[in-house]
A and B are shown apart, each in its own frame.
Chain A
Amino acid sequence: MKQKTWHLIDLSKVVVDPTLKSHANDPFVVRKVEEARRVLAPYLKQLAEKEK
């Protein structure tokens, strides 16, 4: 059966603010991403090998 897209949020009703910029380089965010990569290292390795 063809899978249909379902929606919980109407993106047209979400307020988008073009002045809001990414905090990807925020030290807190960087630290959290590094921690996550350490925790998930075996799993991420599995996923990478599957993609080869």
Chain B
Amino acid sequence: MERSTVKANLYSFNTHTVKEKFYPFRASEDYLFYYFESRSEERTIHKAVQFEKIGADIYNLAFGDLDENREINDFCVSNNQDMNKVLATVVRTALTFFEAYPDRRVYFTGSSKARLRLYSAILAREFENWKPVFEVLGIQNGNPVPFEQGVNYESFIINRKSI
């Protein structure tokens, strides 16, 4: 791929996808754990993202709230009226993970059917933006297949393309 095309693809991705506002976050020294705070007038919710190896070069993305025991859970719908900003922050942590580990892949799914549908909808909506720079596989019956808009999947695997 020509250098000018690469630059155009990255510019497009940055402009359209990374433009979403996100919360400031902190990373652990190995870039596998991330912490940020979801803030509203009523409350502050402590959020965490942990990347953990599943096998081969694939890492699971676990995301949730830090409870009073400083453990992560996603049982509660905290609903701080900032879903887009929270998701944009999680995406940002994933981009940081990929920067630190460009040859690794990230697996993620929704904690509920509703959340799975949400992630699928976002991937479909942003398809033209991420397609030049990331490869997304959808999992069907345990098998990864190239992501297609309008198709239901159980979960997803994402990796950076070499461009």
Contacts and interface: CB of A to CB of B under 8 A. Distances in A.
A15 B64 contact: no
A4 B33 CA distance: 27
Interface stretch (B37-45, B67-75, B82-90, B112-120): B67-75
A32 to B, nearest CB: 5
Given A9-B95, A28-B72, A39 B139 contact: yes
Give the residue among A9, A36, A37 with the most B Cβ atoms within 10 A. A36
Interface residues of A, number: 36
A33 B54 contact: yes
Interface of A: 3-9, 11, 14-18, 20-24, 26-29, 32-33, 35-37, 39-44, 47-48, 51
Given A6-B163, A36-B60, A22 B33 contact: yes
B131 to A, nearest CB: 14
